[in-house]
Amino acid sequence: MIRGLAHVCFGVSNLDASLAFYCDQLGLKPAFEFINDQGERTGVYVHVGGRNFLELFRGTLKERADGQPYRHLCLEVDDMPATIADLRARGAQVTDPRVGGDRSWQAWTADPDGNRVELHCYTPESRQTPSLK
C-alpha cells in the first residue's frame, strides 16, 4: 500500500533559476537530471531529505489549462501490482504500470477534480536509489 510522499512535481519557467533557489538558497541537493533525445535538460530531481524529492520540469504556465505550476502529487507504494489491484477494487481508475525515465515503476490516477496522482515504486535501478542511502 501507500508508504508516503515520494515527490511533488512543479512546472518551472526557468530550470536554472529554480535550481538556484532550491539548491543555492534553500540548501537542497540536486539528485539527477532528465535529458531529452536532443541532449537538452528538461527536468531535475532535487533531494529534500529521506526518500522525499522535488521534481522540476521545464514548462510555462501557458502549457497548462489551469495556469498552475503544480503537475502532480506522487505517492510511494511498497507493492505496485497489489496496490493497483486494491485501488481498482475500491473503484479507482488506475493506469497499468510502466517503468519511467527514472527507472522506477509508475502508475497514474486522478482525484475528482482531475488532479493527477502518480503511484511510484522504487526499484534497485531507480535513479533515486543513491540518494536514499
Domain CATH for 56: 3.10.180.10
Q: What is the pLDDT of residues 104-131, one digit of tens each?
A: 999 998 876 676 888 999 999 998 876 5
Task: Give 19-33 pLDDT, tens digit per residue.
Answer: 988 888 777 899 999
C-alpha cell at 77: 507504494
Q: What per-residue confidence (pLDDT) applies to 45?
A: 93
What mean pLDDT value characterizes the chain?
85
Give dist(CA 55, CA 48) in Å, integer.
Answer: 10
Residue 67: CA count within 13 A, CB half-sphere:
0
Q: For the beta carbon of residue 78, count every other beta carbon within 10 angstroms.
A: 12
Rounded to whole angstroms, the Cα distance separating 104 from 125 reads 7
Task: Compute the distance between CA of residue 19 and CA of residue 7 in angstroms, rounded to an integer.
Answer: 16
State the residue range of the domain holding 96.
Answer: 2-132
User: Which secondary structure element, helix H or strand E, spans residue 81, and what is its range?
Assistant: helix 80-89
**What percentage of the chain exceeds 90 in pLDDT?**
37
In the chain, the number of structural domains is 1
Neighbours of 96 (CB within 10 A): 7
> For 40-98, what is each residue's pLDDT tens digit?
999 999 998 888 898 988 876 555 556 666 778 888 899 999 999 988 998 889 999 99
